[in-house]
Structure 1
Amino acid sequence: MFRFYIIIILFSLTINCSFSNTLNKKDYNLLGGSLTVIIDSENDEKQIFKKIKKKLRYIEAILDPEISSFLKKFNELEKNSEISAPDLFVDAFSLMKDYNEITKKAYDPTTFSLLYSVSTIDKVRPMLNSKLFEKCMNISNIDVKITNVFSKRYSCIRLSFDSLIDGIIVQNIKFLLESKNYNSYFIKFGNTVYSRNFHKSSNLFDKKTTNAIKQVGITIRKLDSYSYLVNSNDKIRTYNINLKTNQISLNNDFFVIVASDSPVNNSILSNTLNLVDYTIFSENLYEMGIPILIIFKDNGNYIFKHSKSFEDFLE
């Protein structure tokens, strides 16, 4: 009889635990993707999930892909977001400028919007050699680029929202949860993950990235904050640029993982580092402050390079 009661108690605990885990995980359909939020709590968290849903409605309306006005998107995002969208973009441009200087101009991600909008390499080459590129797209002209984000004065091609959007979403949810004093949670949207005091998940790279990691024979510890380049995404093609000759080549065997504390920085770097002249970039990568790992194919062999700060994540 005693054993029977023990079995009943254990069964009851199992049901409660399962119910609690289900209750505190929520998947949201957003911008054609899926946002996952998990809160490690024994309480009923329906209210915070409702607040997240309300926040996402605002963001989704603002970032509607049918809206072409960057200025309108910025103004609306600023009104309906706990974080400053203009500050994020200015910080992102400043970060990219720093990387451009560190890598001796091997990194010029302002070409992202151009590559995003074309389907063939042949359409890109003339634009790389045009005055438009020199005036508006070159990262060295940082003031023009920043001004162009907020103004219709310039008709340049601007850095796409798509290179930042995953990070903006995750950053917003992170801010919301922390403002409500949650200290154990997991957030994933697109290629960007952020977790705090959450030990119930492993790294969630896509299949191609996971296979590339296996090819070079390394093991990565669990990361709390990271983004990775999605090579299977038709919108973000993996081009490598030789900035000395303004020539580009298509290369799907290039992989990036960025693991700083900032979801926004992780998002933009992982989505734009595929544009580097990696023969130059990889030589200077070790000294860079942000944790970065790149894997690329050279003469049929996979090679990996990482920054010094990424060493802590390798077993």
Structure 2
Amino acid sequence: MQNAVSPGTLSDNEPALEVIPLKNNSLRVLIVVVTAIALAVFYGVITNENFQWEIVWKYFFSAAVLKGLLNTISLTIIGMAIGMTVGLILAFLRLSPSKFLAGCAAYYIWIFRGTPLLVQIILLYNISILYPTISIGIPFGPTFVTWDTNSVVTPFLAAILALGLNEAAFMCEVIRGGLLSVDSGQTEAAQALGMRKGLIRRRIVIPQAMRSILPPTGNQFISLMKATSMVSVIASYDLLYSVQTIYSRTFETIPLLLVATIWYLVIVSLLMVVQVWIERRYSKGATRNQPLQQSLISALFKSKGAEA
């Protein structure tokens, strides 16, 4: 007697059914339309003589533009270093049990996040109007050294201070959010083992918080690089100011602005590649269980097929 085949199962003689995914014709049409529009725009830009591409490539690697590009990179790196250092200190102050320290950090963040970066740059550049001299000495006592503010606060220094102090307010919230994302139970367990707070932060809290801190930090780094173009208003020699000085003499405005645009795109693209690499490196621990889950799912399906 042949064994009866239960409903919903296949006998050994019957072929296995092939699952064919549903075709999404609307998605294919959308891809074709978007591709056609992108090609049309690209062709229009390349063939438009008003862009004056020969002038763009003429000044693309000029000494003045490369000098401005180097200053832009320097402003970004130094400003981000100041922002991360001051932001880390502010984040710890915000998490401090002292209401006074937390209030001082909140006041700093309120000031620098509540006013435009351009206003801060101009204000720091004209700080000599408020403080004509900078002195070092004993408070309410004798003065040891005095400098003229205009000789100390150069356009480059004013740009670095404005970019760094403004970035610190944003990095404070990024770092604070990352620190709060770490489970408090790990801190309590470390305290139970007799570890000090400073050691707990360095060995346990900060390494785990980096996974939450790095993605927004990369975005802030890219935003800061583009924000360096604002320092051109105080005649600080950056990438935008370098092309402005050229087209103010040659009146070739559009080609020179395209030079700056392409260089900004190149730098941002490189930073995005580095950001993706760093995020993948720090996300290895978060995805270490993925192969195990896939093996369990495949084993589950195999056991069901054997039972059938």
On whether the aligned pair clears a TM of 0.5, the verdict is no
Which one scores higher on RCO, CA 8 angstroms, separation ≥ 6?
A: 2
Q: TM-score, normalised by structure 1?
A: 0.27
Larger radius of gyration: 2
- TM-score, normalised relative to structure 2: 0.27
Q: Whose strand proportion is higher, 1 or 2?
A: 1
